Amino acid sequence: MASLPIRILDVVVNEAEVVPELDRRGGGQRLAVLAAERLEGEQPQQWAQALASRALRLVEPEVVGDHLVEGAGTAVVLVEDGLHLRLDVDQQVVKLAHAVHAPRVPEVDPTVSRARLYKTEAIVLRSMDLGEADRVLTVLTPRLGKLRVIAKGIRRPRSRLGGGLEPFSDVHLVLAVGRTFDVVTQAALEDPHLGLRDDLHSTAAAWYVVELADRFCEGTAESHQAFELLAQALAALDAAPAEVSREIVARWFELHLLEAMGFRPELGQCLDCGIEIEPDGNAYSPVAGGVVGPECSHGALGMRPISAAALKVMRHLQRSSLTEVLRLRVPGATQREVEHLLHASVSAVLERELRSRDFLDEVALRGIPAPA
């Protein structure tokens, strides 16, 4: 069988010039690469002219193949591992699932081992039974946003998690990273808010503020302010009915949650012209989010008249802390007007009605007396 000719490309390099350049001891001469073509059995030939039309650059410190070329006085740092996530001393735990805090957690090499447990404080917003013994919980955390976690076996009689993971409860959780839902491995009860279950009026108000927080907080969105506001509202509603006004707590929570979420109602200046609002003749627009003066009031944007008393109450609630308004007493007509205005604002922002509103209205309509 006749042998086939094989063409071989030879690259001839002057070693005497290359090595000094790599060691930084050369005289700065530029290198030429010569290429020749030969058949099998022929001797290599060296061409007078290089095939490359442009001159080569001087060799700079770099990695050539598997060898590190280091210039004199050049410090080379080898990075062996990617970024690591850590648990700080304040227990400010960063969850390792990308779906929860991708905006705040840097990308890490998937080959780097990851911790599987993390801790967080949480308020249980709602729950849903799953299977024969499990329960899916929706919780609001101060740093990780709103999470959906699973408590396995919680409905069994001997479950250690038991009654601590009920709606309205403030708990400390230890969670294990899971595929679909993270798994509750431990739970420590911070405040069960048992008083909310003894009074139907307090229960209805608690369901309302919890649903508000649930609807306004989505996924991994910043939730620190919403968590603090909800914790304060539930603690206030947990007090004896004679010590607090549940309606005032709900109105205070609405105003401050709107502000925390970026929808603060404008109550001091006209939305249209910007002049200071006078006491009388004003209108309130839930869609636009504030008050307009008599000269700018019109039928658009769902304008509603607002009395001087209602405007004064809303301004006071907006600028005051919860402890300053717990014992505030407001006439029934003014209280209902403020409730309707803020309810319209919340509905305009969420673009939906809250189911707990029906429960609140039913409790108020039946006139169920509060316990003494």
Q: What's the CA angle centered on 153, arms 194 and 141, to 5 degrees? A: 55
Q: What is the pLDDT of residues 228-273, one digit of tens each?
A: 999 999 999 998 888 888 999 999 999 999 999 999 999 989 888 8
Q: What is the pLDDT of residues 80-101, one digit of tens each?
A: 333 333 333 233 333 323 333 3
Q: What is the pLDDT of residues 204-234, one digit of tens each?
A: 999 999 999 999 998 777 789 999 999 999 9
Sign of the torsion formed by the C-alpha atoms of 357, 363, 364 and 365: positive
How many other CB atoms are found less than 10 A from the CB of residue 303? 19
Q: What is the pLDDT of residues 65-78, one digit of tens each?
A: 444 444 444 333 33
* Better pLDDT: 19 or 133: 133
State how far the alpha carbon of 176 is from the alpha carbons of 87, 92, 195, 286, 344, in Å.
15, 16, 31, 43, 41
246-260 and 308-319 are packed helices; what angle lies between their axes, rounded to 10 degrees? Answer: 70
Residue in this structure with the two tokens 């005289």, named with its chain if needed:
27
CA distance 117 to 94: 10
pTM of the model: 0.67
Q: What is the pLDDT of residues 171-216, one digit of tens each?
A: 999 999 888 889 999 888 888 888 888 888 889 999 999 999 999 9
Q: What is the pLDDT of residue 95?
A: 32
